[in-house]
Amino acid sequence: MSRRLKVLMSAYACESGRGSEPEVGWQWSLQMARFHDVTVITRANNRGNIEAAVANLPADRPRPDFVYFDGDEFMLWWKGKFKLHRVYYIWWQKNVRKLIECMCRKNGYDLLHHVTFAGFRYTTGIWNHGVKCIWGPIGGMESIYWRLLPYRYPWELLMEVGRNASNFIQSAPSAAFATRAHDSDLTIISTMETQAILAEWGLTGVLMPTIGLDPAMFPAGKTYGVAPRRPLRLLFVGQLIWLKGIDLAVEALAASGTDAVLHLIGGGPFRKGIERLARKLGLDGRVTFSPHIPREQVLRELGDHDVFLFPSLHDSGGFAVLEAMATGLPVICLDVGGPALSVVEGCGFRIPLGPRRRVIAGLTEKIRFYDADRGMLEAHGRKARAQVVGNYNWDRKGEQMNKLYQEVIERSEVILK
C-alpha cells in the first residue's frame, strides 16, 4: 500500500525554465512532492530562480522544501575563474555528504534520492547513511564508435578518446560505477548502453529516460495542409559543438541531391567550421544560422520546420528532441543514447552507428525519404507527438517514480520481517 515517505533529494542542478539538468532537478523535486514530504538539497546559486518559481505555483500544488548549500567564497571564485565546474561538482558532493549525514540523524528520512547531475561518473552524497537510496536516472556509458572520432580536431579527439577510455575502465565489475550501483538500493538508468553494462554485472536497473516535458506547453501538434511544393525544411537546435554531429548533417544534406535547407539554432565554437564546410560543399544559402534564442521563439521555429535533424554522437537526454516531437516533427537521429529511446518506430528514423561514410549515407537516405514523400511528415509527426505526450509526460513519470519509491521501501520491510 502506498504511503507518504520522508524523502531527501540531492539535486545540484535545480532551476525552472532552464532546460537540461536544471529542469530535470526541478521537475523531479515537484513531482515527488506530490506523493511525499520532500526536502531538496541544491546549490545556493539556484535559490533566486527556485523561490520565484515556487511563488508562481498554483496554491494547491504541493511544494518541496529546499536546503541551499554552496562552497565558501574562495571555492566559488576558483570555479568561476578557471571554469572548473566538474571539479567544483565533485567537491560539492563530497561536502554535501556531511550535510546529508547530519540531516539524516536529525530528521530520520525514509529514502535518499540523487537526481542531478544525471551522469554515472561522479560520486554523490547519498550512499552509506543507513538509509535506503535511489541513484538516478543516470546515463553516460555511450561511447563514440572509433571510426566516428574527430581525427581532424585534436582537442576534441583527446577529449573523446579520454571519455571512451573512461567508459571502458568503468565497465569493469571492480570499477567505481559498479561499487556505486551495488551501494544503491535501486539504480535507474536512462540509456540502453548504460543498462547493458549493469546487465553484464548481473545487476537489474530500471530503464527510465531522465527527461520529460509538460504536454500543456504543447496544446496541439503541427498542422499540415495542402501546400505548394517547397524545399524540405530541416532544423537543429543545440550547442554548435563537435559531438552534436552537425558536420555529418551538412555532408548528408549536400549528398542528398535535394533542395532541402538546414537551419541551425544555437551558438558554439564549431559554427565557423560549419560555415566553411557549407561553403566548400556549395550549400551557400541552404545552411542558415541563428544564435541562442529564447525558448518561446524556439518553439515557434519548430512549428515552421518539417524535420528535426539531431545526429548527436552521445547524448543521454536530448531535451530538444522531445520538444520537436511534441510539436509534431519527425526526428532523424543516431541510434545512441537518449534520442534512441525517444524516437521509436514510426516517429522518425534512428541511423545505426558505423563508419563515417555509412552514417552520412544513412542520414542522406532519410532526408531523401522525407523530401520524396511529404505525406510521411504528418504520419510520423503525429506518432512522434503521441509518443512524447504518452511516455514523457512529467506527471506520468512522477507516478512511475512513486511506484519505484514504494517498491524499494516494501522490499526493505520484507527483508526486516
Question: Residues 209-218: pLDDT tens digits?
Answer: 989 998 888 8
Tell me the Ramachandran region of residue 115: left when phi exceeds 0, alpha when psi lies from -120 to 50, beta otherwise.
alpha
Query: How many C-beta neighbours within 10 Å does residue 277 have?
Result: 17
Same domain, 235 and 183: no
Contact call for residues 331 and 391 (beta carbons, < 8 A)? no
Residue 64 belongs to domain with CATH number: 3.40.50.2000
151 inside domain: no
1 inside domain: no
Phi/psi for 134 (5° steps) reads -120, 135
For residues 250-270, average pLDDT: 95
162 inside domain: no
Same domain, 102 and 245: no
Same domain, 192 and 250: no
The pLDDT > 70 percentage for the chain reads 97
Same domain, 246 and 319: yes
Same domain, 300 and 340: yes
The mean pLDDT value of the chain amounts to 91
Total count of domains within the chain: 2
Question: Residues 155-168: pLDDT tens digits?
Answer: 989 999 999 999 99
227 inside domain: yes
Whats the size of the chain, residue-wise?
417
Same domain, 401 and 320: no
Same domain, 182 and 262: no
Same domain, 101 and 250: no
144 inside domain: no
120 inside domain: yes
Range of the domain at 383: 215-391
Same domain, 268 and 280: yes
Q: What per-residue confidence (pLDDT) applies to 417? A: 47
- Predicted TM-score (pTM) of the model is 0.91
193 inside domain: yes
90 inside domain: yes
Same domain, 228 and 364: yes
Asked if pLDDT for residue 312 goes beyond 50, the answer is yes
